[in-house]
Amino acid sequence: MAKKGRVFSGARPTGRQHLGNYLGAIQNYVKLQDDYDCIYCIVDIHALTTMETTRDLKQNTIEMALDWLAAGIRPDESIMFIQSHVPEVMELHTMLSMVTPLGKLTDLPTFKEKVREQPNNVNYGLVGYPVLMAADIMLYKADFVPVGVDQAPHIEFTREIARSFNYRYGKNVLVEPQMKVTKVPKVLGIDGAQKMGKSLNNHIEIAATPEETQQRVMQMVTDPARIKRNDPGNPDVCNVFTMHKIFSSPEEIEMVNTECRRAGIGCVDCKKLYAKNLNAHLEPFRARRAEMAEHPQDVWDILEDGAKRARSIAQETMREVHDAIGLP
């Protein structure tokens, strides 16, 4: 069946993925494959803008690739590759930088946030981050980019660069990508307050063992007003209940909802049930992942093959770009 267009998405190699990545990105990646030609990129060059050391870069790359593949990215159908394996992106980044007003870059909220986060490392790459992102998207002539609302300004920015480039050089070479705003949940960490993330160490890795998973789940913060076992709880403010709604059966969700409110079920049993259901959901994923992890070379081969296919699209775009600019 003909697909509806090309999707591009990139994520920094952050190693083993957590439930936030899984529910917020990976599941969507997997689903999009049914309707679109998908290109999924592990953006290692982007990662350099914030990294203190590259010691774990390779390991983090393969761990993330394993998670993606085991979760259902189909490498024969989709293109999955490492950003630095297609060096044309750096070239397009340079070309695009010539049509990008500097003030626009320094005005972006994400840039200002990074400046606050790493005041001692406000590097040139950080300013150009959205230009490199634009290069990624346009190098592969992506029609759609799946994004959360926080990324919207970057895509709008990419569209502006495409327009500026096409106008400046008088040719319609670069495709203006469209945002594919996906309603993804903001997954909270085990602290029940902040967004799940590795840096906060409030995450649950999807490749963790069932025992590790249960242990992490048992640490989850529930309704803070429920102190004693016999206090009635409020599922509406409890992150464990939010997760039940994703991983438990309708009957279990109903049971937890009712019994929590009248203290019929305690937080310990409620968490045990969630851990059991989460582990059951992740079991097939973990089995596939363990099998693939035994043959890491196969994963590197998949990434290499992806890079080859990505590169042939990239080289074609670059020929058109050179031609449009009029480079001798």
Binding residues for ligand ADP, rule: CB under 6 A, are 11-12, 14, 20-21, 24-25, 148, 184, 186-187, 195-197
Using CA atoms of 196, 26, 284, 273 in order, give the dihedral in degrees to the nearest 10.
30
Task: State the sign of the Cα–Cα–Cα–Cα dihedral 53, 60, 300, 44.
Answer: negative
Residues whose CB falls within 8 Å of the CB of residue 23, separated by 6 or more in sequence, listed in order: 184, 185, 187, 246
CB-neighbour burial class of residue 116 (10 A; exposed 0-12, middle 13-18, buried 19+):
exposed
With CB atoms as reference, the residue minimizing the distance to ligand ADP is 24
Q: Which is nearer to ligand ADP, 86 or 196 (CB)?
A: 196
**Helix ranges (DSSP H) in 181-266:** 210-218, 239-247, 250-261
Q: Which is nearer to ligand ADP, 140 or 165 (CB)?
A: 140
Q: Which is nearer to ligand ADP, 47 or 96 (CB)?
A: 47
Q: Which is nearer to ligand ADP, 198 or 309 (CB)?
A: 198
Residue 148 CB, shortest distance to ligand ADP, in Å, is 5
Residue 14 CB, shortest distance to ligand ADP, in Å, is 4
Residue 212 CB, shortest distance to ligand ADP, in Å, is 18
Residue 237 CB, shortest distance to ligand ADP, in Å, is 18
Q: Which two tokens stand for residue 24?
A: 């917020």
Residue 52 CB, shortest distance to ligand ADP, in Å, is 16
Residue 244 CB, shortest distance to ligand ADP, in Å, is 17
Residue 24 CB, shortest distance to ligand ADP, in Å, is 2
The one-letter code for the residue type at 9 is S
Residue 12 CB, shortest distance to ligand ADP, in Å, is 4
In this structure, which long-range contacts are made by residues 183-190, counting pairs with CB atoms below 8 Å and at least 24 apart in sequence?
A: 184/23, 184/24, 184/25, 184/28, 184/148, 185/23, 185/24, 185/242, 185/246, 186/24, 187/19, 187/20, 187/23, 187/24, 188/239, 188/242, 189/20, 190/216, 190/217, 190/219, 190/220, 190/221, 190/239
Residues whose CB falls within 8 Å of the CB of residue 294, separated by 6 or more in sequence, listed in order: none
Largest CA distance in the chain: 79
The one-letter code for the residue type at 36 is Y
Q: Which is nearer to ligand ADP, 157 or 165 (CB)?
A: 157
Q: Which is nearer to ligand ADP, 49 or 99 (CB)?
A: 49
Q: Are 252 and 270 in contact (CB under 8 A)?
A: no
